[in-house]
Amino acid sequence: MTQAAPVATANRTTPAAFPSFTLISSEEIPALGVSIAEYQHIKTGASHYHIASDNPENVFLVALRTVPKDSSGVAHILEHTALCGSEKYPVRDPFFMMIRRSLNSFMNAFTSSDWTAYPFASSNRKDFENLLQVYMDAVFFSRLHPLDFAQEGHRLEFKEAGNPDSELEFKGVVFNEMKGAMSSISSQLWHTLCKYLFPSTTYHYNSGGEPEDIPDLSYDQLKSFYESHYHPSNAIFMTFGDIPAAEHQARFEELGLARFEAIDSHIAVGDEKRYHAPIRVHERYPLPAAENKGDKTHIVVSWLLGKSTQLETLLEAQLLAGVLLDNSASPLLHALETSTLGSSPSPMCGLEDSMREMVFACGLEGSSAAKVEEVEALILDTLRDVAKNGIAKEDVDAVLHQLELQQREIGGDGYPYGLQLILTALGSATHRGKPIELLNLDPALQALRERAAKPDYIKQLAQSLIDNPHRVTLVMSPDENIQQRIEQAEKQRLADIKANLSAEEKQAIIDQASALIERQALEEDDSILPKVTLADVPLDMPALHSEHAMFGSLPYTRYGRGTNGLVYQQLLIALPELDDEELSLLSLYTQVLTELGLGDQDYLQIQARQAQVCGGISAYTSMRGDITDEQQLKAYLVLSSKALLRNASAQTQLMRDTLETLRFDESDRVQDLVAQLKARRESSITGNGHSLAMTAASAGMSPIAKISEALGGLSGIRQLKSLSERIDAPAELSKLMSQLAAIHSKMLKAERQLLIIAEADRLASLCDEIAPLWHDFNAQAKSNFSYPAVREVKKAFWVANSQVNFCAKAYPTVPSDHPDAPVLTVLATYMKNGFLHRVIREQGGAYGGGASQDSNIAAFRFYSYRDPRLQDTLADFDKSIDWMLNTAVSAQGLEEAVLGVVSSIDKPGSPAGEAKQDHHSNVFGRTLAQRRLFRQRVLAVTAADLQRVCDCYLNKGGASVAVLSNAAKAAELSDWLAAEHFSIEQL
C-alpha cells in the first residue's frame, strides 16, 4: 500500500491526498474547531469529504444516490439485502455479526428519499478498520442472495407450512416494517403530501415502500437497481475524526475503488414541474371506530420552495420558517395554537430542507373537512399580516440567534457528533451542491443578518410565500372502514395468486420456505469476519473532573468541558411529597413549567424572551431506583437550559424567574398545551410501540416502573386523553390550574442543587458572573418523596391503531449493585444474538426483537418491534429460556455479548452530555467506583453465570406480559386472552 504524507490535525494546512484522489477544495471552520476538504477519485469520480478533527471517535459513511421510480421499496429492500453477505464475506448475516464483534459507538444503514447511506463510528482504530472492510465489501460487492431478498423484502408462504391447500400470506422484514411505519398518521400525512407536491420526481413515491406495492418488486429488479446505483461513480464517501484523509483514501482504493472504471451515468433528482395555481386534495386515512369520535381531520397547507443546494435560498427559508413557527409567540404558530378550527397544530408544521427542493408546511389536526377554507384563510391571512406589517427586529434577531446556537453546539448524545455533521452536509452532497458551505455557516449567517436588518426583508419573504402558486392543501379525513378494505384487498390478491398457481409453483413456494428455514438455521463459519476481542477493550472507565462549591447556600457542581462557547445549566430539585392526583399530573406540570407567563409578562412575551436568551429551556423528572433496593427511589425535577456564553447572566435570570414568578392564570394556554401534548403522545405510539409495551409489562416491578407507566406509558396516554376531554368544562379546568399551582408551590420549598458546564478556561469567570444571581436562591428543607413498594404480575392487551404488533414479557430481577445485575445484562445480549434475532426477526419477520435487563427497575424484558406475529412471538420468548438452559454456552457468543455491553457502557457522548451523565449518576448513587465495579463484573461474566441467572430469574414463571395491537386482533384472540387472564385496555 502506498502511504501519503500524514496530515496534521491541529494548525491544519493544505490536506494531503492519496495519489488516486485529487483535492478539490478545503476550508477551516473555526466555529466548529474542524477543517473540511473535498476530494474526487480520479478514475471513477467518487466524491470524498473529510472533516478533520482531533476527536478520536472516527466516523465513516458511504452514500449512494438512490432515486426510485415507484413505491415498491427497492432502495429500502436493497439497503437490507446488501448487508446480508458479500464477495469477501459470504456469510448470511455479516452486518449483525459485526455488531456483536465490535466496539462501535454507532453502526447502521439508512434509506432516505433520494439517498441510501451506510455509516459507522468507533473510537478504536482496529475496530474502525474491521468495520471499514466489511462495509466496503457489502456496498460494492454484495452477493444479493435470492433467499436474503425473500427474507428481508417479501415472499409468499402458506400459512400452514408445507400445506398448499392453506391460505397464502406475504412475509418479509421490510414488508412488516413498512406496515408498522405506515400505521403512523404522521407518515401517511407526509407521504400523501409528497404525492401531490411532487407530481413528477422521485419524492412522489414512498422510498421505504408502500405495503401494497412491495410485493410487486422482483428479484431481477432489485439486482438491476443495485448494478445501476451501487457504483463508485454514484458514491459519496464522508469521514470525520483524527485519521488523515489520505489514509482513508488508501483503504478505499485497496478495498474496492481500484477494481472499478467510471460509468456514464448521472443519477439525480430532476426539477419538479411547477403548478400554475394552488390545488386542494381530499384523502382518507384508517382510524378504528372506537377512536373516530369528534373531529379527527388533518388539514395541511404546503408549498414547494427553492433548491436546498442554494445556500442563500436555504437560509432564507430557515429564517422565514423560524420567524413564523419557532415558538408560541411566532405569528403563525400562535394562530394555529389558539385557533378553534382544530385541536392543535399539525405535526407537519415546519420546513423540510433535506430534499433537493424544500417544503414548507403548516396546518391543524383535530379539525373537519368542512373547515378547510377557514383553515386556509387563517394561514394566508397570518402570512398577509406579516407581509404587510413585518416582524419586530428582536424577534428576527432571536431566530438568527437560534441558528447561531445550533451551528455552534457540539452534539453526540444521540448520533456521534461527527455523524451529525456528516448528515448535515449529505443532502447537499447528494445533489452536487456545496456541502462545505452548510458546515461553515458563519459567513453566510453574517450576510443573512445584514439582509435581515433591512425593514422590508421579512415582508418580502412572506409575500413570496403567498405568491408561490405551487401550493397544496391536503385534507386527510378518517375512515373507519379503510383498513378493512386494505386487508380485504390483500386477502383477495393472495387468493387470486393462489388460484392461478400451478402445482409446480405451489411446490416452489414450499421449497423456498424450507430452504429459507434451513439457511436461517445454518451455523456458518464466521471466522472469516474480522473482530476485536476483550484484549482490545480499555482497562477502565475515565474519570471526569468536577468541582463542588456554593453560591450562598445553593450547592453547585461544575465541569470544564469543550462546549464550543456554550454554557449548560441544570437545576435539580428534589421531588417533594405529592398526593396521588398531583403525581398523576407531574408529566403535565413539567410540560407547562416553561410554557406559561412569568410575573407581569404573558406566555407570548416569555416565549420570545426564551428565544432571545437561550437555545431552549425545559423541565423533566428524573427518577432512579436505589442501587441496592429497587423498591426505594430518588426523584428530581430538572430545569435545564443551554445558552451562548455571552448570554449566561440572562439565562440564569430566566431560570430563576421561571421558578419564582410562574403564573397560573393562563388557563386557555394550559388547555392548548394539553391538546398539543395529547396529539404528540398519540402520534408517537406506532414508532415507539416496543418501549411502550415493555413499560406496560414492567409496571408491576417497582415503584418507578409503576410511575413510569402511569406518567409516560400507555396508561399515561389514556389519562391524558381523558384529561383533555374533562377540562372542556370550566370547573374542571379551574381545578386543574389549582392543582398545578399546588405542585409548583411544593417544588419551591424543596431542596435544590445546580450543575454548570462550560469551557474550562471560562468556567471561573462564568461562575463569578452568575454568582450574584444564584447567591440568595437558597436550598430548602430536605424533601421526602416516597411511593409504596410494588411487585405484582400484570397481563394487558392494549388496543391501538396499528397494523402490526408489539410484544413484551417481563420478569422481576435485581438492582444494579447486585452481583447478578451485570450477568443479566450480558444474558440479554447473548440471548438476542444467539436465539431471539433469528427466530423473531429472520424467521418471524418482525423488524426487531430482543431482550434487555433494566437494573433501575430490577426487570428483565423481552420485546418485539413491528411484529406480524403475537402468540408465536410470546412462545419464542419462552423457547429462548429453554434454549439458554439446554444449550452449551458458546465461548465466542459470550465474548461477543460482553463486548456489546462494554461498548454500550463506554459509548462516548457530547462533552456536555458526558458531564450531565456523570453528575446525574453521582446524584443517584451510581458513583464512578460503583460504575467501574459494574463494568468489571461484566468483563468477568462466565458461561456458568449465564445459565445460573437464567434458571434463577427466568425459569420460575411469574412473568408479566403486555401486547400492543389492534381491535381486530383482540377479537380474533378473545378466547385465548380470556384463558390467559389478559385485561383488554383501550387507549
Q: The CATH number of the domain where 977 resides is what?
A: 3.30.830.10
Question: With 50 as the cut, is the pLDDT of residue 4 above it?
Answer: no
Question: With 80 as the cut, is the pLDDT of residue 292 above it?
Answer: no
Tens digits of residue pLDDT in 672-725: 999 999 999 998 898 899 999 999 999 999 999 999 999 999 999 999 999 999
Boundary (domain end) residue, out of 528, 559, 589: 528
With bands split at pLDDT 50, 70 and 90, how would you rate the model's confidence at 810?
very high
With bands split at pLDDT 50, 70 and 90, how would you rate the model's confidence at 14?
low
How large is the average pLDDT for residues 465-478? 97
With bands split at pLDDT 50, 70 and 90, how would you rate the model's confidence at 733?
very high
Does the residue 780 lie in any domain? no
Whether residues 172 and 217 share a domain: the answer is: yes
Whether residues 670 and 810 share a domain: the answer is: no
Tens digits of residue pLDDT in 417-457: 999 999 999 999 999 999 998 898 889 999 999 999 998 99
Count helices and strands in the chain by DSSP H and E runs: 36, 28
Kindly report the backbone phi and psi dihedral angles of residue 108, in degrees, each rounded to the nearest multiple of 5, phi listed first. Answer: -165, -170
Whether residues 142 and 57 share a domain: the answer is: yes
Whether residues 196 and 117 share a domain: the answer is: yes
Whether residues 815 and 723 share a domain: the answer is: no
Question: With 70 as the cut, is the pLDDT of residue 402 above it?
Answer: yes
Whether residues 764 and 824 share a domain: the answer is: no
Does the residue 981 lie in any domain? yes
Q: What is the mean pLDDT of the chain?
A: 94
Q: What is the pLDDT of residue 414?
A: 83
Whether residues 867 and 977 share a domain: the answer is: yes
Q: Residue 943 belongs to what domain range?
A: 795-986
Does the residue 1 lie in any domain? no
Tens digits of residue pLDDT in 928-983: 999 999 999 999 999 999 999 999 999 988 899 999 999 999 999 999 999 999 99
Does the residue 26 lie in any domain? yes
Whether residues 611 and 709 share a domain: the answer is: yes
The total number of structural domains that make up the chain = 4
Does the residue 895 lie in any domain? yes
Residue written as cell 380470556?
978
Q: Of the ranges 176-185, 212-221, 545-554, which one carries the lowest mean pLDDT score?
A: 176-185
What's the per-residue H, E or C state across 841-873?
A: HHHCCCCEEEEEEECCCCEEEEEEEEECCCHHH
Q: What is the pLDDT of residue 232?
A: 97
Per the CB < 8 A criterion, the answer to whether 948 and 884 are in contact is: no
Whether residues 820 and 849 share a domain: the answer is: yes
Whether residues 712 and 606 share a domain: the answer is: yes
Does the residue 648 lie in any domain? yes
Does the residue 662 lie in any domain? yes
Question: With 90 as the cut, is the pLDDT of residue 778 above it?
Answer: no
Instruction: Report the distance separating Cα 984 and Cα 963, nearest Å.
Output: 10
Per cent of the chain over pLDDT 90 is 89
Question: With 50 as the cut, is the pLDDT of residue 7 above it?
Answer: no
Question: With 90 as the cut, is the pLDDT of residue 291 above it?
Answer: no
Report residue 667 CA to chain centroid gap: 32
Boundary (domain end) residue, out of 774, 805, 835: 774
Question: With 50 as the cut, is the pLDDT of residue 199 above it?
Answer: yes
Does the residue 668 lie in any domain? yes
With bands split at pLDDT 50, 70 and 90, how would you rate the model's confidence at 901?
very high
Whether residues 300 and 222 share a domain: the answer is: no
How large is the average pLDDT for residues 159-172? 93
Q: What is the pLDDT of residue 6?
A: 32
Instruction: Report the distance separating Cα 865 and Cα 873, nearest Å.
Output: 11
Here the cell at position 247 is 489514509
Per the CB < 8 A criterion, the answer to whether 402 and 615 are in contact is: yes
With bands split at pLDDT 50, 70 and 90, how would you rate the model's confidence at 2?
very low
Q: What is the pLDDT of residue 523?
A: 82
Per cent of the chain over pLDDT 70 is 98
Radius of gyration (Cα) for the chain, nearest Å?
Answer: 28
Is the pTM higher than 0.85? The answer reads yes
Q: What is the pLDDT of residue 69?
A: 96
How large is the average pLDDT for residues 124-129? 96
Whether residues 758 and 835 share a domain: the answer is: no
Q: What is the pLDDT of residue 13?
A: 57
Instruction: Report the distance separating Cα 328 and Cα 339, nearest Å.
Output: 12
Tens digits of residue pLDDT in 560-619: 999 999 999 999 999 999 999 999 999 999 999 999 999 999 999 999 999 999 998 999
Instruction: Give the count of beta carbons closer than 10 Å to the beta carbon of residue 773.
Output: 17
Tens digits of residue pLDDT in 341-356: 999 999 999 999 999 9
How large is the average pLDDT for residues 637-649? 97
